[in-house]
Amino acid sequence: MSSPSFGDRLATEFAASRHLCAGIDPHAPLLSDWGLGDDAAGAERMGREVVAAAAGVAACVKPQVAFFERFGATGFAALERVLADARDAGLLVVADVKRGDIGSSFAAYADAWLTPGSPLEADAMTVAAYQGFGTLEGAFRHVRRHGKGLFVLAATSNPEAREVQLSRREDGRSVAAAMVDDALAWNAAERTGPVGSVGVVLGATLDLTAFGIDTGERERGPALPVLAPGFGHQGARIEDAGAIFGGIGHALLANESRSILVGGAEGLADRVRSRAESVAVALEERRV
C-alpha cells in the first residue's frame, strides 16, 4: 500500500484548522533565555519541549538543522531524538536544511532526510534550486514513493537574496517567480490530491508582486503549499495573509519561532496554543 502524499497529510491538518508551523531554533540567546546550556543537550531539551507542546496543536514543527549541526555528532544525535519524538506524536516535521546541489550529491541529501527509516527522517525538507528546478530530481522519487514533501526557496526576506531572486531568466520571469511556477507545474502534473506535495518558501514581510510573483486566483488544481516565515516576531500579521499571498495562500503554513520560544519552557504550551488559535481564526475569516 502506497503512503499518503505529503500534500494529503497537509490537507488533513488544514481540515482540522491547523496552520501553525512551530519553529525549533536553539541558538545561543534563546537557549540562555530557557536557562539551558549552549550545547547539544540544551538544543535537545528545547526541541523535545516544542514537539510536546505542538503535538495535536500545530500543523508541523520545523527544526533549523544548523543549530543542531554546529555541535557535530552530539548535535545530530540530539536532533535524531527530537525527530523520533515527533514521529511518535504523529507530528509532521519540516527539516529546515536548505540543501541544494546537483546529481548524486543532491540525491544523497534527499536520501538522508527523506528516506523512511533514516535516523534523520523528516516528512519534508527545505531545498534551494537555484542551479535549476531539475536538480531536485533526486528528491522527487521520495515525494512520489514515500509521501514526502519539499519546500523550495522562492522569495525570502533577507536582503542579500534579492539580487539572485529578482534576477531575470531568458523568458523574462524572475528567479523567484520561476520557482513558484515550477512548483505549481510539478504539482499539476502529478495531481495527487487537493494540496500539492511540493511547496515554496515565501517571506510574509515581502511585497510578492515586486518579485514578479502572480498572487491572483489560480486555475483549478492542487493548492500550492506555502511555508511563510515572518509572522509574529518579524512583524507580519496573520490577519493580513490574504492581502500578502492572494490566490497562492490557500495552503498556508505560518512559521513562527521567536514568538513561541521567547520566554522559556514555562508557558510554552500556552504560547503555542494561543498562536495556533490566532492563525486558525485569521485564516478561517479569510475563507468566509
Bridge partners of residue 257, in order along the sequence = none
Are 26 and 288 within 8 A, CB to CB? no
pLDDT in tens, 19-31: 999 999 999 999 9
Which of the four pLDDT bands, split at 50, 70 and 90, describes residue 286?
low
Instruction: Sketch the domain layout of the chain as residue ranges.
Output: 6-287
What CATH number labels 6-287? 3.20.20.70
Tell me the Cα Rg of the chain.
Answer: 18
Residues involved in catalysis: 98
Chain mean position to CA 12: 16
Residue 283 CB coordination number (10 Å): 20
- pLDDT tens digits, residue range 36-93? 999 999 999 999 999 999 999 999 999 999 999 999 999 999 999 999 999 999 999 9
239 in Cβ contact with 258 (< 8 Å): no
* pTM for the whole structure: 0.96
Residue 24 CA to residue 195 CA, distance in Å, equals: 25
How far apart (Å, rounded) are the C-alpha atoms in residues 16 and 23? 20
Report residue 236's pLDDT band, with 50, 70 and 90 as the boundaries: confident
Q: What is the Cβ-side half-sphere exposure of residue 169, based on CA atoms within 13 angstroms?
A: 16
